[in-house]
Amino acid sequence: MRLFARLREDGWWAVGGIAALVGALLCTPPGAVGAAVVADMLGRPIAIPERSLRLVSLAPSITETIFALGRGGWLVGVTAVCDFPAAARALPKVGGIAAPSLEQIVRLRPDLVFTTAEGNARDLLDQIERLGLATFALRPDSYGGVVQSILTVGRGLAADPAARRVVDDLERSVRAVRERVAGRPRPRVLYLIWTDPLIAAGAGTYLDDLLGLVGGRNIVWERTGSYPRLNWEQVVDRAPEVILLADHREDSGRAATGRGDMPAEWQAWRAVPAIRTGRVLAVPSNTILRPGPRVGEGLDRLARAIHPEAFGPREMK
């Protein structure tokens, strides 16, 4: 910390100053190892050393993927919200997803910083690269994008067989869910990321894709933004039959509940079918909002919330 304080005092707390510090901290001798060139999901060729690496993950979905591929021991830093698996909680933290600490990232001396277009701002990637650190960008913006991101991380970390196994398990889970809901009516669904204000999963997003896979119809069909803010007049007009609330609490084992999850003031909007019938459900979001290897579990939760009739009473979680 003294070194960084001195840099601030000297007016070096800018990208150029940190870049100079990075050069001093990264001490791998040139030519010590070979490098494989792997394209990330922005199509950029990334030279990755062929050895054990020091990795920083800037999203929970990436952290979970790296652990699922058997490379969790390579992680030296994760975000403050990376809480799965349990081993991730003990790793050094670099701050939040939107605004991680560049200072802390630099101090961890990573060989590679993993970022995601589904959570990290593009200018963050640029800032990290101006520090002289290599980045590897993922873009899991659909279910297919999730599959591709797992396989891409597998290529980047020399873990192709493990990535294929993870993807095979995921696709089996997805097929099982789709078979459950096949041929059933497709209710109108509103998935809310936040309730005050109303922020919804928009058309053409990863979440929109998941709702379609489990037999729902997203009421936000226009492409005016990935996660638009709605007003109640719009909700009344589109008449969702199911409203799903993203439950951001940690407990991954909770099931979607029911009427008790609905804010009391929403009773004033009984013209909305989901409110009138009590089909307002809080669904744990940690396997739904994280586009990684646990998406199959997230799809199962969505299917049970939207199509409870497809699951017997003993099967409901």
Task: Specify the long-range contacts of residues 84-91, CB closer than 8 Å, at least 24 apart.
Answer: 84/60, 84/252, 84/286, 84/294, 88/63, 88/64
Q: 189 and 87 in one domain?
A: no
Q: 146 and 201 in one domain?
A: no
Task: With respect to residue 152, please indicate whether it lies within any of the assigned structural domains.
Answer: yes
Nearest to 215 by CA among 301, 282, 303: 303
Q: Which of 119, 139, 158 is the last residue of a domain?
A: 158
Q: How many CA atoms lie within 13 A of 51 on its CB side?
A: 9
Q: 81 and 26 in one domain?
A: yes
Q: 131 and 46 in one domain?
A: yes
Provide the domain limits for residue 51: 2-158
Q: 127 and 275 in one domain?
A: no
Q: What are phi and psi of 116, to 5 degrees?
A: -135, 140
| Residues ≥6 apart with Cβ < 8 Å to 62 | 114, 115, 116, 138, 153, 292
Kindly state the tokens that stand for 165: 């196994």
For 137-153, the pLDDT digits (tens) are 999 999 999 999 999 99
Nearest to 252 by CA among 305, 293, 310, 301: 301
Contact 87, 78 (CB under 8 A): no
Other Cβ atoms less than 10 A from the Cβ of 193: the count is 16
Average pLDDT, the chain: 85
- The average pLDDT across 85-108 equals 95
| Predicted TM-score (pTM) of this structure | 0.84
For 235-283, the pLDDT digits (tens) are 999 999 999 999 877 554 555 544 456 777 888 888 999 999 999 999 9
Kindly state the tokens that stand for 248: 């951001």
Q: 227 and 136 in one domain?
A: no
Which residue type occupies 77? G
Residues 30, 46: Cα–Cα separation, whole Å = 17
Residues 312, 163: Cα–Cα separation, whole Å = 33
- The average pLDDT across 170-180 equals 95
Q: 224 and 98 in one domain?
A: no
Residues 288, 283: Cα–Cα separation, whole Å = 9
Residue 181 has pLDDT above 50, yes or no: yes
Task: With respect to residue 122, please indicate whether it lies within any of the assigned structural domains.
Answer: yes
**CATH number reported for the structural domain that contains residue 42 in this entry:** 3.40.50.1980
Contact 125, 105 (CB under 8 A): no
More confident residue, 13 or 300: 300
Task: With respect to residue 300, please indicate whether it lies within any of the assigned structural domains.
Answer: yes
Q: What angle do CA 171, 121, 146 make, to 5 degrees?
A: 5
Task: With respect to residue 315, please indicate whether it lies within any of the assigned structural domains.
Answer: no
Q: 223 and 299 in one domain?
A: yes
Kindly state the tokens that stand for 302: 């969505």
Contact 115, 123 (CB under 8 A): no
Q: 11 and 137 in one domain?
A: yes
Number of domains making up the chain: 2
Task: With respect to residue 316, please indicate whether it lies within any of the assigned structural domains.
Answer: no
DSSP strand pairing (280-284 vs 242-247): parallel
Q: 80 and 24 in one domain?
A: yes
Contact 117, 141 (CB under 8 A): yes
For 256-267, the pLDDT digits (tens) are 544 456 777 888
Q: 297 and 196 in one domain?
A: yes
Residue 18 has pLDDT above 50, yes or no: no
Task: With respect to residue 165, please indicate whether it lies within any of the assigned structural domains.
Answer: no
Residue 180 has pLDDT above 80, yes or no: yes
Q: Which of 108, 139, 158 is the last residue of a domain?
A: 158
Task: With respect to residue 171, please indicate whether it lies within any of the assigned structural domains.
Answer: no
Q: 232 and 267 in one domain?
A: yes
